[in-house]
Amino acid sequence: MIGFYDYTVIMTYISVVSSMVGIFCAMTDRISLAVCCLAFSGLCDMFDGKIARTKKNRTEEEKCFGIQIDSLADIVCFGILPIVLCFKLGMYHVYGIAILLFYGLAGLIRLAYFNVMEAKRQSETSENRKYYQGLPITSISVILPLLFVASMIVPGYNRFVVLLHITMLAVGLLFILDFRFCKPTNRELVILVAVVAVAVLFVLFYKEGWWRFSYLYKTSMERGGTL
């Protein structure tokens, strides 16, 4: 069979499946489930590299495959899913679509650049990466769920949509701006996972907030999506 199927890439495959489910959920207006799928994909991505590095006898082909499959998965999980989700949340006007097109292109450029530089870095050193150039594309799996939770607490669907436009434009810019972003420590990762987990539980079980957001969302759709 073509491909690699050992435990070093299983988390990446799970992440992609989660995101594809999230896309289906977003397209059928199951927004809260789509947000949870995005957060879960981000959780898988946090640990797939750590799991892969536990296998000490990886061949060069396995290492190269890991780099490629990770970036290909990222464009689905943190590129396409957020675009579909944001489109369904209100970014369907010309300016919103333009921002989402920019976001997707910036994410693609970032991942391609990362592949080139990571392959070069691994050929020169075996040390673990200590920082990223620009904002990692996986950061959207933290940003969007927290923004969505905020929208359920603070009333005003229109204000949320405006903030969503600004956020996606800013994140897209940060993908391709050349600055150093320190790689989170294990302790910081644990805190980040805990925060996102609380956000996901909030989305799933805070019915009053979800009902209010859902009502405002459907009302906006019925009015033609005017802001």
Read off the CATH number of the domain in which 181 is found.
1.20.120
Split into its structural domains, the chain has a count of 1
Asked whether residue 174 is assigned to any structural domain, the reply reads yes
Structural domain includes residue 2 = no
Residues 32-72 pLDDT 10s: 899 999 999 999 888 877 777 776 777 777 777 877 888 89
pLDDT, tens digit, 9 for 90 and up, residues 61-93: 777 787 788 889 999 999 999 999 999 888 989
Alpha helix (H) ranges present in the chain? 10-27, 31-52, 60-75, 81-89, 94-124, 140-153, 157-176, 186-205, 207-222
Indicate whether this model's pTM tops 0.85: yes
What is the structure's pLDDT at 223? 55
Q: Evaluate whether residue 216 is within a structural domain.
A: yes
The pLDDT assigned to 207 comes to 59
Residue 131: inside a domain: yes
pLDDT of residue 98: 97
Residue 3 domain-assigned?
A: no
Asked if the model's pLDDT at residue 19 lies above 60, the reply is yes
Measured CA to CA in angstroms, residue 150 lies from 83, 91, 144, 161, 209 at distances of 19, 18, 10, 12, 10
* Structural domain of 197: 10-222
Q: Does the pLDDT value for residue 226 go beyond 50? A: no
In a domain, 23, yes or no: yes
Segment 112-129 mean pLDDT: 73
Give the pLDDT band of residue 115 (cuts 50, 70, 90): confident
Q: Is residue 5 a part of any domain in this protein? A: no
Cβ contacts of residue 37 below 8 Å, gap of 6+?
18, 19, 21, 22, 25, 81
- Asked whether residue 1 is domain-assigned, the answer is no
Q: What is the pLDDT of residue 23?
A: 97
